Amino acid sequence: MPHAYRTASKDWRAFLDDAKERMGLVSDNMAYTATDGVLQVFRRRLTVAEGIAFADELPAVLRAMFVYRWDVGAGPVEWGPRAALVAEAKAVRKDHNLTPDDCIEAVAWAVRRQVRLVDFDRVLAGIGPEAEAFWAVEVSDPAELGRRFS
């Protein structure tokens, strides 16, 4: 059994705790909605091949979220400015969405703590500079991106 499946629940809990703390949210539901919005925003800008390559680098639950209900017949849309991408993430389940303005950075930070960075960054580079910028995070100490387990 692949390690990613054996530890899926533990990895998901660690990710969710990181995302929730990073965004200053008080519930798992809020962190889930913010994460879902960010993943949907990114996914809309990818071809199917790019999306599958990206999803392959995610832990099991995030991978499932990323591909869930993806309309693969819809072509990629333009990137646009960061503020528009954030607004798009905030529009997911808008009646139940308390996603903060730093959602993309916070989700990127939490995702980066869960992935093998060399492979994740290789896939993003293959997609292009917009993808790299979307998932970029600034840390003063690279150890900050070490994996968290609860």
Residue 21's domain is classified under what CATH number? 1.10.490.110
- pLDDT at 6 (0 to 100): 92
Decide if 41 is inside a domain.
Answer: yes
Which pLDDT belongs to residue 93?
84
- Number of domain units in the chain: 1
Give the position of tokens 């492979």.
Answer: 119
Q: Is residue 99 part of a domain?
A: yes
Q: State both tokens at 128.
A: 């292009």
Structure tokens at 30: 């809020």
Q: Model-level pTM?
A: 0.93
Q: Would you state the pLDDT for residue 148?
A: 60
Q: For residue 49, give both structure tokens.
A: 């091949």
In tens digits, the chain (150 residues) has pLDDT values of 888 899 999 999 999 999 999 999 999 999 999 999 999 999 999 999 999 999 999 999 999 999 999 999 999 999 999 999 999 999 998 777 789 999 999 999 999 999 999 999 999 999 999 999 999 999 888 788 877 654
Please, are residues 86 and 17 in contact by the beta-carbon 8 Å criterion? no
Torsion sign across C-alpha atoms 116, 29, 37, 5 = positive
Q: Does a structural domain hold residue 96?
A: yes
| 10 within domain boundaries | yes
Asked if residues 103 and 38 have their Cβ atoms less than 8 Å apart, the reply is yes
Residue 46 φ/ψ, nearest 5 degrees: -115, 155
Answer for the pair 46, 111: CB distance below 8 angstroms, yes or no: no
